[in-house]
């Protein structure tokens, strides 16, 4: 059985699935067996896709208009297709850059194998960059982790602002991009330095 899945990015009705639906019907998909989402491809919550994947059975073929309709990113796409393949389900892409993908054929499997290899290569590059970045940070005396949200420049601005009674703490925190807790850890309500603020300023002077 052929089962279709289509998606448009906007939920305000400005984009239509008509083109995708027409292409699927022309490819032999029964309109009753077409699932739909109106959501960004980056969203995890796609009920139409979840229902579609659940409805697929062994020897079925999933039809999508373009490859980007199915996957949030290359990793998600590769994992989804591997899952389908392990269940004995094929994938066919009708148009776009992935139009040569048809995992029910030997040539299509080869093309998707290249996609999978690229995804693995990308993962290795990301891991390599992360390791190199951490090593470089350690060489500069940092041990990794998230950078400080509070900086010496922000501390000086906070000290000046907190010295004025009319200062709105909420507005100040929003302007500096920090939480109220972070602010008060470094600067007192009167604009005086607190221990964390002293430490941060002293580190910046070395």
Q: What is the DSSP letter of 98?
A: T
- Joined together, the tokens standing for residue 141 give 């005396």
DSSP for 137-198 reads HHHTT---SSPPS--HHHHHHHHHHHTSTT--HHHHHHHHT--HHHHHHHB-TTS-B-HHHH
Q: Which is it for the CA torsion 69, 73, 74, 80, positive or negative?
A: negative
Place of tokens 């992360």: 130
Report the distance separating Cα 27 and Cα 34, nearest Å.
12
- Catalytic entry in 9, 40, 100, 204: 9
Active site residue 9: yes
140-152 core/surface letters (b: 16 or more CB in 10 A; e: else): eeeeeeeeeebbe
Report the distance separating Cα 64 and Cα 47, nearest Å.
16
- The catalytic residues are 9
């Amino acid at each position: 059985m052929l089962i279709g899945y289509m998606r448009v990015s906007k939920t305000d009705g400005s984009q239509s699935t008509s083109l995708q639906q027409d292409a699927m019907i022309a490819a032999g998909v029964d309109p009753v067996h077409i699932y739909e989402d109106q959501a960004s491809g980056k969203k995890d919550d796609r009920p139409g896709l979840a229902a579609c994947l659940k409805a697929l059975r062994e020897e079925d073929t999933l039809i999508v208009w373009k490859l980007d309709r199915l996957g949030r990113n290359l990793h998600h796409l590769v994992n989804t297709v591997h899952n389908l393949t392990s269940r004995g389900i094929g994938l066919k892409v009708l148009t776009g850059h992935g139009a040569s993908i048809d995992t029910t054929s030997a040539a299509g499997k080869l093309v998707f194998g290249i996609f999978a290899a690229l995804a693995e290569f990308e993962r290795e590059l990301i891991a390599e960059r992360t390791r190199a970045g951490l090593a470089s940070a350690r060489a500069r005396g940092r041990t990794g982790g998230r950078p400080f949200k509070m900086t010496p420049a922000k501390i000086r601005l906070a000290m000046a602002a907190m010295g004025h009674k009319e200062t709105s703490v909420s507005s100040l925190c929003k302007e500096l991009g920090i939480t109220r807790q972070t602010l008060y850890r470094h600067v007192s309500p009167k604009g005086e330095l607190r221990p964390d603020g002293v430490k941060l300023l002293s580190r910046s002077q070395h």
